């Protein structure tokens, strides 16, 4: 298993380099201009100077290699310095700099991470907590009223876009009922019980919007996987041995059914770090998703590039993790 993991990790390097180069080309060759969003009162000569100072006019390959060097060498060293306090980072101060804020991209990402993890991470957990029982009961009582309702709810949750449910939630719970705030306060810190209640109030709407969406996806996998197993011979054997239904379903069937579901859950974790572009925008959460969309709109190549490549890294890593987990959970699967 270890050699397999190492082999996969080594293979990931060329893949990631290729991905990063393709992303760079796509972003770079698309018609975007960091000065496009500026008021028309700013004359073209000044715009040209701004572009020059940002380095937009350098040849594409040079820009790519400059970025790559910073990404794989300078930025990790800065990260280590930030964590450990060791003075290892190069002193020339070279960082990946955002066109819009003129500040290091990594600082932006670090700043946005907490609210993204809070909101999107919680919604993922909530989604799983809803999905598992829903999927199990739906499968065990196939075609019952519960199953029909569950199927209907997950179909609705899956097909209605979050920009609709989000605004609907705001109109109902923030405007009419006045229970929750419609604007997320990123500066809020949880220090005691009262501030925790405030945090729960401001987080509940985005979490539920995303949670319902996640739950509808995962519950379908859970249900299908349970159904596959419920009709297996070993289930009949277990019942024939005289085991109680609870043990049969929750121990024998569930454990076997969880294998593909866990893989699906692991594969979707990178999306948690990626934030939720639309939901973050609707609730003004201003996490990674909002960072990415603003950067795309503003032609901010370094931010788009860096964030996308971090996603790519996470996706590659979690794919590997899912494969490894598969082997751990299912003894029949061996990679060596």
Partner 1 sequence: MKRTTLLLGATALAMAPAAVWADAHSERGSSGHLNIIYWQAPSTLNPYLSGGTKEVESASLILESLARFDDTGTMVPWLAADIPTVENGGVSEDLTSITWTIAEGVTWSDGSALTAADFIFTWEYCTHPEGGCAQASSYDGVTAVEAVGDNQVRVVFGSPTPFPYTAFVGSESPVLQAAQFADCLGARAPECTDANFGPIGTGPFVVDDFRPNDVIELSANPNFRFPDRPYFATVTFKGGGDATAAARSVCETGEFDYAWNLQIDPTILADMEAQGNCTVVTAFGTSVERLHLNQTNPDPALGDIRSTAEAGPHPFLTNPIIGQAMSMAIDRALLVEIGYGAGGQPTCNVLPAPELYASTANDACLTQDIAGANALLDEAGIVDTDGDGIREYEGTPISVLYQTSTNAVRQDTQALVKEWWSQIGIDTELRNIDASVFFGGDPASPDTFQKFYADIEMYTNNFAGVDPQAYMANWACDEWPGPDSQWQGSNIQRFCSEEYDALIVEMAGTADLARRGEIARMQNDMLVQSYSIIPLIHRGGVSAHASSIEGIRMSDWDSELWNIMDWRRAE
Site residues (vs partner 1, CB under 8 A): 31-33, 35-54, 93, 97-98, 100-104, 107-108, 111-112, 170, 174-175, 178, 181-183, 185-187, 281-282, 284-286, 290-291, 294, 297-299
Q: Which is nearer to partner 1, 111 or 142 (CB)?
A: 111
* Minimal distance, residue 331 CB to partner 1, in Å: 48
What DSSP letter does each residue of 53-99 carry, written as one string? HHTTTS-HHHHHHHHHHIIIIIHHHHHHHHHH----S-TT----B-T
Strand partners, 104: 97
- Give start and end residues of each alpha helix (H) in the chain: 2-29, 44-54, 60-69, 75-84, 105-116, 122-140, 145-159, 162-169, 193-230, 233-240, 245-247, 254-273, 277-282, 288-297, 301-329
Q: Which is nearer to partner 1, 207 or 282 (CB)?
A: 282
How many C-beta atoms lie closer than 10 Å to residue 19's C-beta?
18
* Minimal distance, residue 150 CB to partner 1, in Å: 32
Q: Which is nearer to partner 1, 31 or 242 (CB)?
A: 31
Q: Which is nearer to partner 1, 95 or 220 (CB)?
A: 95
* Minimal distance, residue 84 CB to partner 1, in Å: 21
* Minimal distance, residue 164 CB to partner 1, in Å: 14
Q: Which is nearer to partner 1, 166 or 270 (CB)?
A: 166
Q: What CA–CA distances, in Å, run from 161 to 140, 157, 276?
A: 29, 8, 12
* Minimal distance, residue 54 CB to partner 1, in Å: 7
């Amino acid at each position: 298993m270890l050699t397999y993991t190492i082999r996969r990790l080594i293979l990931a390097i060329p893949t990631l380099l290729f991905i990063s180069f393709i992303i760079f080309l796509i972003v770079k060759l698309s018609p975007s201009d960091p000065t496009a969003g500026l008021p028309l009162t700013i004359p073209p000569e000044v715009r040209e100077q701004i572009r020059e100072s940002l380095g937009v006019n350098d040849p594409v390959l040079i820009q790519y290699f400059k970025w790559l060097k910073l990404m794989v060498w300078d930025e990790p060293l800065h990260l280590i310095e930030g964590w450990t306090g060791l003075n290892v980072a190069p002193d020339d101060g070279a960082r990946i700099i955002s066109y819009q804020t003129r500040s290091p991209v990594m600082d932006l990402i670090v700043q946005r991470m907490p609210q993204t993890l809070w909101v999107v991470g919680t919604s993922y957990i909530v989604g799983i907590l809803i999905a598992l029982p829903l999927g199990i009961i739906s499968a065990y009582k196939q075609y019952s009223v519960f199953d029909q309702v569950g199927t209907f709810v997950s179909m609705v949750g899956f097909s209605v876009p979050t920009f609709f449910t989000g605004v609907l939630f705001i109109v109902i719970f923030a405007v009419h009922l006045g229970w929750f705030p419609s604007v997320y306060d990123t500066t809020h810190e949880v220090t005691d019980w009262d501030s925790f209640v405030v945090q729960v109030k401001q987080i509940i709407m985005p979490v539920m919007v995303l949670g319902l969406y996640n739950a509808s996806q995962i519950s379908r996998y859970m249900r299908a996987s349970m159904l596959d197993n419920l009709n297996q011979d070993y289930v009949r054997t277990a019942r024939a041995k005289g085991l109680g239904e609870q043990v049969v379903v929750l121990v024998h069937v569930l454990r076997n059914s969880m294998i593909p579901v866990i893989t699906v859950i692991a594969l979707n974790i990178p999306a948690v770090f990626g934030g939720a572009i639309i939901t973050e925008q609707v609730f003004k959460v201003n996490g990674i998703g909002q960072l990415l969309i603003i950067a795309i709109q503003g032609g901010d190549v370094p931010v788009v590039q860096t964030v996308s490549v971090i996603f790519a890294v996470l996706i590659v890593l979690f794919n590997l993790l899912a494969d490894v987990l598969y082997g751990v959970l299912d003894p029949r699967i061996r990679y060596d």
